Structure 1
């Protein structure tokens, strides 16, 4: 099988399944550090802010890894990138398990976050090459691996954490990462046929001519939009547990709302993929960002227990498809041969937005003593995102936002 006939084929769907499995395993690095945070704080006798330092460094490494590993994928392929990343993650888990201070743990978490990034942006960019008519749903499925990892692994690891401690959790993850990810990565060795790559390049150039922005300008606009939407997105995702604690519902209820939000995000990513296959990435992103903004407004008047559960689910259903839409837009409008680097750059910007937004919301809370102003701040950044994506849509000669899949 050669050329474009391999796209959307049985092999493409099998590759997507393998991609999803890798994503569910490889992304655990960014969730495990949250699970162990209370144990780390108790063991080292440190403040909550200090205990959060490993998570912060994890996200910094995750952001940088999406950019750097994306370039590796463009040059050497996804299998080489995934195997190297799996070994890096496993080595990081082992070093974390012998950490003697929170500073050492935080430094190691940067390495874990860097390796974990291979299972997000670079993996999404890779699978996008193997689909033509169903690229949107394929990207949505691959991106869902991140949320599924966050929903499933805390449950699987809770028993080990309770009985043997957080260090044992990391040793177990080190073994599982190598034993599971490396064989799965070897199943992705096949490279996209040259004929299919040339076809994708032709389509992306055609789409690029429909917008009056250079590829560099479009990429930077998408990055700025990514910061805007994810500053807004971070407010509920990062602070819902603290919000519930402030309201007297307790952190357990907040964790349940976060889990509900993530599961809603999985549904949203799949639904957005279907929509993107019909309307294109730009229109899908605009819809998702608008719905997210509406959901943020709902947090302002409602603080009852039942209403917060409902609003958190609505928020998850609204925002889950936003980040994958950026990958779809990059593949539609920008050079296919640079997909790994360009998707990685835009995804990095969204992660930076999450990091900035998480800190900014806490800072605003410290200033005002309430999350109300923090939600309003998120809404303002969401409007920035809507404005940029609306501009891209208006400046498109097509006007409908629907493009020929590249």
Structure 2
């Protein structure tokens, strides 16, 4: 098998793993069934998911350090076993404590372990000018999971019940994700990805130069001011996106008196998935920071207008824009981290940055809950999120001169 074929194989296997571990997106279906069929409170039914988000973020951080040292294969295999095993154990007893441990801790940890490895291993197989494309494809696969898993889980629960649904999903994950994980590994140490045809722009030259000469360990990365700019950008933009994602059906009920807003979830998922691929490809042409600047500005305008979305058409548009803005984060930030700090220590570096996503996952939904409890509407939450997006645009504009400074310093170092 040629290196080119092997690179494509690793990319496809990584996308397959992400399609499996996207099971987190199906929790809303389980939550509804637990409340309706088993009498759980909303707080009880939400807690396993909340725990899984926190554990996932911490697992990405830990797994990033480990995979940089021992490679991705063993970490991916462990993650697949933990995620599938957690689902299997969830089928044993439907109690808040058990599901918090099995789904929240075990499955959340497994998803984090697997998720942490895929971007760095795939980027090592492809030329730096294709970072956006491959990251966009991997992120899209994770997003597409929400499109097929929600109806699949609904069908399984209707046919077999909640416990058997956990069991079936656990078996499916183990039978598909684990074998795929066994095929994924880093390229040989002396491997150099070839420049694709028609990839000779200055931007490509700059990106590849920075990737080659800027290999920064995490303890040096956290001393640099641009890292904290990136962290704040990731946290604030995640908060805005996740605020809408977590509440879109409730928003539809409050603003447009729509009692069945499931189609909005599908619309958001479709735009979220498509936005990941589109912005990933766009970042290869414009650069990561510029692409994020456009995404932040679009999301900020959307937040300013969201309170006026009072019918199905406008809500679909709003959900779609929110999905695109959020999807851009997961497709473009990995490329930016590779460009700024290299691939040698990427797992640990991105793991540290990913704590911003966990913070945003807490800020956004909590902000929405407080706003609607206090005022009966989400208007304040929209306004705060719009302000946060304005800050991210300013941070992104501030970051671009810093980025150019890094490129110039690296080019100077190369010539010297």
Superposition TM-score, scaled by structure 1 size: 0.89
What is residue 110 of structure 1 aligned with on the other side?
105
State whether residues 23 and 146 of structure 1, in contact with CA within 8 Å, keep that contact through their aligned partners in structure 2.
yes
State whether residues 61 and 112 of structure 1, in contact with CA within 8 Å, keep that contact through their aligned partners in structure 2.
no
The match for 1:268 among 271, 275, 283 is: 275
Q: Deviations over 1:70-108 (max 9, x none)?
A: 222212222111110111112211221123521221222
Deviation at 1:203, TM superposition (A): 3.4
> What is the rounded CA distance, in whole Å, between the counterparts of 1:319 and 1:310 in structure 2?
14
Matched, 1:182 2:189: no
Q: Deviations over 1:273-331 (max 9, x none)?
A: 11111122111111211111122222122212221122222332343212221111110
The match for 1:312 among 314, 319, 322 is: 319
> What is the rounded CA distance, in whole Å, between the counterparts of 2:191 and 2:84 in structure 1?
37
Superposition map of 1:1-400 within 5 A: 6=3, 9-28=4-23, 30-108=24-102, 109-132=104-127, 133-196=129-192, 203-204=210-211, 206=213, 216-217=223-224, 218-247=226-255, 249-253=257-261, 255-397=262-404
Give the aligned CA root-mean-square deviation in angstroms.
2.7
Other structure's SS at 1:178 match: helix
Q: Deviations over 1:318-362 (max 9, x none)?
A: 432122211111100103211011112222311320222111211
> What is the rounded CA distance, in whole Å, between the counterparts of 1:190 and 1:313 in structure 2?
36
Q: 1:251 to 1:22 in 2, by over 3 A?
A: farther
Other structure's SS at 2:382 match: helix
Q: Please list every run of 5 or more consecutive structure 2 residues that lacks an aligned counterpart in the other structure.
A: 196-206, 412-416
> What is the rounded CA distance, in whole Å, between the counterparts of 1:11 and 1:43 in structure 2?
47
Deviation at 1:195, TM superposition (A): 4.8
Tell me the matched-pair count: 392
Deviation at 1:393, TM superposition (A): 0.8
Q: 1:226 to 1:58 in 2, by over 3 A?
A: same
Q: 1:144 to 1:130 in 2, by over 3 A?
A: same
Deviation at 1:57, TM superposition (A): 0.8
State whether residues 272 and 321 of structure 1, in contact with CA within 8 Å, keep that contact through their aligned partners in structure 2.
yes
State whether residues 201 and 336 of structure 1, in contact with CA within 8 Å, keep that contact through their aligned partners in structure 2.
no
Q: 1:327 to 1:100 in 2, by over 3 A?
A: same
> What is the rounded CA distance, in whole Å, between the counterparts of 2:124 and 2:259 in structure 1?
42
> What is the rounded CA distance, in whole Å, between the counterparts of 1:23 and 1:318 in structure 2?
20
Deviation at 1:385, TM superposition (A): 1.8
> What is the rounded CA distance, in whole Å, between the counterparts of 2:155 and 2:221 in structure 1?
52
Deviation at 1:112, TM superposition (A): 0.9
> What is the rounded CA distance, in whole Å, between the counterparts of 2:118 and 2:164 in structure 1?
28
Q: 1:89 to 1:181 in 2, by over 3 A?
A: same
Deviation at 1:208, TM superposition (A): 8.3
> What is the rounded CA distance, in whole Å, between the counterparts of 2:107 and 2:88 in structure 1?
10
> What is the rounded CA distance, in whole Å, between the counterparts of 1:318 and 1:400 in structure 2?
27
> What is the rounded CA distance, in whole Å, between the counterparts of 2:72 and 2:298 in structure 1?
34
State whether residues 67 and 345 of structure 1, in contact with CA within 8 Å, keep that contact through their aligned partners in structure 2.
yes
State whether residues 268 and 316 of structure 1, in contact with CA within 8 Å, keep that contact through their aligned partners in structure 2.
yes
> What is the rounded CA distance, in whole Å, between the counterparts of 2:383 and 2:275 in structure 1?
23
State whether residues 16 and 138 of structure 1, in contact with CA within 8 Å, keep that contact through their aligned partners in structure 2.
yes
> What is the rounded CA distance, in whole Å, between the counterparts of 2:221 and 2:84 in structure 1?
40
What is residue 203 of structure 2 aligned with on the other side?
none
Q: Please list every run of 5 or more consecutive structure 1 residues that lacks an aligned counterpart in the other structure.
A: none
> What is the rounded CA distance, in whole Å, between the counterparts of 2:302 and 2:7 in structure 1?
35
> What is the rounded CA distance, in whole Å, between the counterparts of 1:144 and 1:329 in structure 2?
17
